[in-house]
Amino acid sequence: MTDTSPTQRRTWLPLALLASLAVNLFFIGLIGGKVFSEPDEAVKRAKVTRGYSLHPRVMMEALPEDRHDHIRAFYAEARKGRGAEWREINTIRREIDAALRADPFDMEALRSAQRREVEARAALRIKQNENVAAFLATLTEEERKIIADFALARLDEQTAYWRERRRKREAEKKRSGE
């Protein structure tokens, strides 16, 4: 009987140590994830479109699930061919970078590249707005009103957020200045 006791202890002891290690690693992961993750507000704000937006993501939030496939199909079609336009914008941005690094510095070359970049982005934005308007024309009047109400509520939330943030910053500045 004495001979079997140590053998039994040796078989369950490593299993108990492994189970304890697994539980400890689990808790360390939970605590580490909570400590090193972003605050909930920052994550929530990162997902929010700013201001009054008619982006497809906003439309999907406003409209019921059964319309989401229609919105996704529109957005996939609207994005086609945009790669060349974005590559053009990136080429212009590289020209801006080259103008910044040029020796001697040529301010007129920098301004020219910056103007072309703004114009290229504006042209892209105009095309996007035209696509969104064409899509909105396919919706019912009720759906358009729902989207407009949602976008306006989003704008009001953003305005209130920035107003409160500015108020807090000014109050902090006032406290630190006194």
pLDDT digits (tens, 9 = 90+) for 154-173: 888 888 888 998 999 999 98
Mean pLDDT of the chain: 85
Q: What is the pLDDT of residue 49?
A: 54
Q: Which two tokens stand for residue 101?
A: 């690094």
Q: What are phi and psi of 120, to 5 degrees?
A: -65, -40
Q: What is the pLDDT of residue 78?
A: 85
Confidence of residue 53 (pLDDT cuts 50, 70, 90): confident
pTM: 0.60
Cβ atoms of 29 and 38 closer than 8 Å: no
SS3 171: helix
**166 and 108 in a common domain:** no
**153 and 120 in a common domain:** no
Q: What is the pLDDT of residue 105?
A: 92
Q: What is the pLDDT of residue 119?
A: 96
- The answer as to whether 98 is a domain residue is yes
The domain in which residue 153 lies consists of 140-178
**132 and 73 in a common domain:** yes
Q: How many folded domains does the chain comprise?
A: 3
Q: Which of 86, 65, 54 is nearest to 155 (CA)?
A: 54
Q: What is the pLDDT of residue 16?
A: 83
- The answer as to whether 97 is a domain residue is yes
What is the DSSP secondary structure assignment for residue 105, as one 8-state letter?
-
Q: What is the pLDDT of residues 123-140, one digit of tens each?
A: 999 998 999 999 999 999
**145 and 122 in a common domain:** no
- The answer as to whether 60 is a domain residue is no
Q: Which of 54, 38, 53, 21 is nearest to 139 (CA)?
A: 54
**27 and 12 in a common domain:** yes
- The answer as to whether 74 is a domain residue is yes
Q: What is the pLDDT of residue 55?
A: 85
Choice between 117 and 75, residue whose per-residue pLDDT is larger:
117
**75 and 135 in a common domain:** yes
Q: Is the pLDDT of residue 77 over 60?
A: yes
